[in-house]
Amino acid sequence: MSRYQCPDCQYIYDENKGEPHEGFHPNTSWNDIPKDWACPDCAVRDKVDFIFLADSPSKETQLGVNSQLANSESGISDATPTGMAVLAAELVIPLNQENKNEGCAAKTEVLDQASTPQVVRKSSTRKKMRNK
């Protein structure tokens, strides 16, 4: 079954779900919808303007994804974008914590060096020159 999107409001007609409020039961094909049908959200009149998105995932595909999720340890498949984000976060967070500790020590040293006033050094040199 396929899905079609309204170009104005991004409403999606999914053939699997149909549109019960409009009288189209689930599994109603796009070809069975009258040509003068209007978008239920924004009333775009031309059915021709709707954009073909893709075929809806079949029940077999959904079952395959669900079993893949159930078999993974964390419940999130590594192949999904969410799974990849979780993996990346697990790798990056410990590195950031180590770098923060090292960065704090380095910043403290820089601050200690910068806190020595340069003006005092110049003024003490001037005082020595005046005394000569």
More confident site: 105 or 10: 10
Q: What is the pLDDT of residue 3?
A: 93
Residue ranges for the known binding site for Fe cation are: 6, 9, 39, 42
Q: Report the predicted TM-score, pTM, of the whole model to 2 decimal places.
A: 0.42
Q: If you average pLDDT over each of 2-11, 40-49, 123-132, which comes out highest? A: 2-11
Which of 96, 65, 97, 104 is CA-nearest to residue 83? 65
Residue 54: phi, psi to the nearest 5? -175, 175
Q: Please write the tens of the pLDDT for every residue from 77-87.
A: 555 666 666 66
Residue ranges for the known binding site are: 6, 9, 39, 42
Q: Which fold has domain 2-56?
A: Rubrerythrin, domain 2 (2.20.28)
